[in-house]
Amino acid sequence: DADVTQTPRNRITKTGKRIMLECSQTKGHDRMYWYRQDPGLGLRLIYYSFDVKDINKGEISDGYSVSRQAQAKFSLSLESAIPNQTALYFCATSDPSSGRTEAFFGQGTRLTVV
């Protein structure tokens, strides 16, 4: 089945380290998103991309950067990780031209910054 895959699934890193979270999808969707989930705070949009040449900041982009390497790949980087970036990160895709309106989420990456 076509899916959205995130790597790694879990990661512990130290304060100040650079880390990259990767997302790849086999759905053929143009639109990709990175969300952050904190307990009791729902999902908040970090960055989104409508195609390879399009990158947009979301609600909470400070401290993050992204790279859209191909239609199927969208990576999230923390240039210098800090403890309050400890969270569950979700990549998502959507493609309204497919006739389905919803966002499809990956399995999530649990990041802990110590």
Tokens of 28: 């053929």
Total binding residues toward other proteins, as defined by CB under 8 A: 24
CA distance 27 to 19: 26
Q: And the tokens for 11?
A: 């990661």
Among 24, 25, 85, 94, binds other proteins (CB under 8 A): 94
44 binds other proteins (CB under 8 A): yes
* Contact status: 63 vs other proteins (CB under 8 A): no
Cβ–Cβ under 8 Å, residues 60 and 47: no
Q: Which stretch binds other proteins (CB under 8 A): 12-20, 29-37, 65-73, 79-87?
A: 29-37
